[in-house]
């Protein structure tokens, strides 16, 4: 009798141990599935998803989300205020401190942020900040002429120091190379890139292998779409390629940029605008696996 009772107790103990082990495994596995440097969000597939909807997405605007190269800081612009009279734009940062993401409002909007590949410069259109020895950002500084004379909305830079930027109201993209430490005069991109209208919000890959931007074209999916052009072997830029119907919709998409590790494409989608006469009253930040770009790269 005692032997049977002992076997039953042992069996029950093993059962409880197995249950606890399964629970621990599932918990750890669930945490592993979402623990990531991207605000602890589970990464997306090849279908775009709103980024951090519980932390970022609100009514009105959220645009221009960018990470620092170490993925411990995320900067973006948002609109706050419930009435037209109260609405204003804020420049916001989320920083990972003590293993927690903490939000701070930096200032009113001062330009569309872009962090240089080395993490030392935060470009803000015609202005910029630099990392100081303490790890903080400097006061805002102005670019030299002729850049201060161009109404730049967004300026991005490669690891070689090449600037790629737009101009409000002009609808064209320009670039400026850094040669032997000297900044060259801005030049217009070819007609393939600057065709259509409202070419804006460019992103140049750190290695200069491709450029992303948004444009309005008759062949697009509706309003502004995101396009890519790949660098050719001779150094020229190839045809403009629409990112396709998974990224682009009948709504307006734009402001594309890729995370510093090259893994994910971020962009904005205007959720409240369907017709050119509609107001841009709601914009969300989306992200998608950057493989959507590589899938379009011409085969050699």
For 24-68, the pLDDT digits (tens) are: 322 333 333 445 799 999 999 999 999 998 888 666 788 899 999
DSSP conformation class of 148: G
Could you tell me the two tokens for 65? Answer: 């989300």
What spatial distance separates the first Cα and last Cα of the chain, rounded to whole Å?
A: 78
- The CATH number of the structural domain formed by 112-294 is 2.120.10.30
Question: Phi then psi for 38, rounded to 5 degrees?
Answer: -95, 65
Tell me which H or E stretch contains 188. Answer: strand 187-188
In the chain, domain spans: 1-34, 112-294
* Main-chain phi, psi angles of 243, to 5 degrees: -70, -5
Residue 231, classed as helix, strand or coil, is strand
Asked if the model's pLDDT at residue 15 lies above 80, the reply is: no
Closest CA to 163 of 183, 142, 182, 144: 183
Residue 5 confidence (pLDDT) above 60: no
pLDDT of residue 281: 58
Exposed/middle/buried for 204, CB within 10 Å: 0-12, 13-18, 19+?
Answer: buried
Q: pLDDT at position 3, please? A: 46
Residues 268 and 284: beta-carbon distance below 8 Å = yes
Q: Is 56 in contact with 66 (CB distance < 8 Å)?
A: no
The pLDDT value given to residue 275: 53
Beta bridge partners of 97: 100
Q: Average pLDDT in the 148-152 region?
A: 96
Element (H, E) at 236: none
SS3 content of the chain, % helix, strand, coil (to 5): 15, 40, 50
Omega cis (within 30) before 146: yes
Select from 183, 86, 106 the least CA-distant residue to 143. 183
Q: Residues of the chain with pLDDT > 70: what percent? A: 84
Long-range contacts (CB closer than 8 Å, 24 or more residues apart) made by 173-182: 173/199, 173/200, 173/202, 173/211, 173/213, 174/150, 175/204, 176/147
Token pair listed for 297: 């790269």
Share of the chain above pLDDT 90, in %: 69
Supply the DSSP string of 70-111, one letter for each residue. TSSEEEEEEEE-SSTTT-EEEEEEEEEETTEEEEEEEEE--S
- Tell me the pairing of strands 174-176 and 187-188: antiparallel
**pLDDT at residue 206 tops 50:** yes
Contact 119, 128 (CB under 8 A): no
Location of structure tokens 């030049």: 187
- Distance from chain centroid for Cα 151: 22
């Amino acid at each position: 009798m005692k032997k049977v009772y002992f076997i039953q107790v042992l069996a029950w103990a093993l059962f409880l141990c197995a249950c606890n082990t399964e629970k621990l495994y599932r918990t750890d596995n669930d945490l592993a599935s979402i623990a990531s440097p991207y605000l602890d969000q589970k990464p997306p597939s090849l279908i775009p998803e709103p980024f951090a909807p519980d932390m970022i997405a609100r009514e009105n605007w959220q645009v221009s989300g960018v990470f620092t190269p170490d993925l411990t800081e995320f900067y973006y612009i948002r609109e706050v205020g419930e009435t037209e009279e109260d609405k204003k734009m804020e420049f916001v940062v989320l920083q990972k401190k003590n293993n927690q993401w903490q939000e701070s409002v930096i200032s009113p909007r001062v330009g569309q942020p872009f962090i240089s590949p080395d993490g030392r410069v935060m470009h803000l259109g015609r202005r910029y900040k630099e990392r100081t020895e303490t790890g903080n950002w400097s006061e805002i500084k102005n670019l030299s002429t002729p850049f201060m004379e161009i109404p730049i909305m967004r300026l991005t830079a490669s690891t070689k120091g090449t600037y790629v930027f737009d101009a409000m109201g002009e609808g064209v993209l320009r670039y400026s190379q850094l040669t032997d430490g000297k900044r060259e005069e801005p030049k217009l991109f070819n007609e393939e890139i600057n065709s259509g209208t409202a070419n804006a919000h460019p992103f140049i890959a750190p290695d200069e292998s491709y450029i992303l931007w948004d444009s309005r074209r008759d062949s697009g999916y509706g309003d502004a779409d995101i396009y890519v052009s790949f660098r050719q072997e001779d150094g020229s830029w190839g045809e403009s390629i629409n990112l396709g119907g998974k990224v682009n919709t009948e709504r307006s998409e734009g402001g594309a940029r890729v995370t510093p590790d090259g893994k994910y494409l971020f962009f904005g989608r205007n959720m409240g605008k369907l017709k050119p006469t509609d107001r841009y009253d709601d914009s969300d930040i989306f992200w998608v696996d950057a493989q959507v770009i590589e899938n379009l790269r011409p085969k050699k």
